[in-house]
Amino acid sequence: MESVMNGSARTGPPVIGICARTAPVAFQGDDMVVSFALQAHLAFLAAAGCTPLLLPLLPGVEAVADRIDGLLIPGGPDLDPALYGEDPHPGTRAATPDADRVELALTRAALDAGLPVLGVCRGMQLLNVLHGGTLHQHLPEVAGHDGHRPDTPSFTLGAHPLKLEPGSRIAGVLDEDAPQTACHHHQAVNRLGAGLTATGWAQDGTVEAVEVTDHPFAVGVQWEAGFTPDRRLHQALVRAARRP
């Protein structure tokens, strides 16, 4: 398999970078902070024929954009509202403002290099903020319900029928009569960023999918791809990474 990066060809499977998340853990009796990725993202990408590469969100990581063939921006904590000119809502949990800015720089570099990009949940929100958009910081206050992040004792996905824009990239990936989301988010797109097109909506009007206009493959989805057996988005990202 031949992979093309910034105009130069190399052999081997495509390399898909995955933005790392961090969390405190207890390991062998010691407290520490680790960088990690959801195992399903790694497994789904590898099964689709690529090499997943965990990218720590440290200053300068955007330089790796010329060494990867695609980028996956997974779910995670809320973005720092200062990035879109707002004060934090009491329910906003923006835990990593420095990492937010590194992730924005990495995503900008990937898009500028023409790499395929898939944003999942927080990843879609980051795409919107990168393009000058804003977020609803607490969706239940806007939608009038908690169906997008069910208020239950355990982690529960909310299911919603999807309306997709005919002919969009996301409609091509989810080629079915009655697509549904499996979501867990309390924030969502408010003002859509310049250069983005909304291509998927929940029944209550919440934007569930966006695409970077005039980009070969840069898609954001609000639902929790990776928490269900559905691998189609990961497969589509790898297919896009293989194209010359």
CA distances (Å), 166 to each of 122, 171, 220, in order?
24, 6, 16
Residue 102 has pLDDT above 50, yes or no: yes
For residues 79 and 98, give the distance between their C-alpha atoms in angstroms, rounded to a whole number: 10
- The domains of the chain, with CATH numbers, are 2-242 (3.40.50.880)
Predicted confidence (pLDDT) per residue in 184-214, tens digit: 889 999 999 999 999 999 989 999 999 999 9
State pTM to two decimals. 0.92
Predicted pLDDT at 244 = 64
* Alpha-carbon gap, residue 217 to 199, rounded angstroms: 13
Query: What value does the mean pLDDT of the chain take?
Result: 91
- The yes-or-no verdict on residue 95 having pLDDT over 80 is no
Whole-number pLDDT of residue 4: 43
List, for residues 29-62, the tens digit of each pLDDT value: 889 898 999 999 999 999 999 999 999 999 999 9
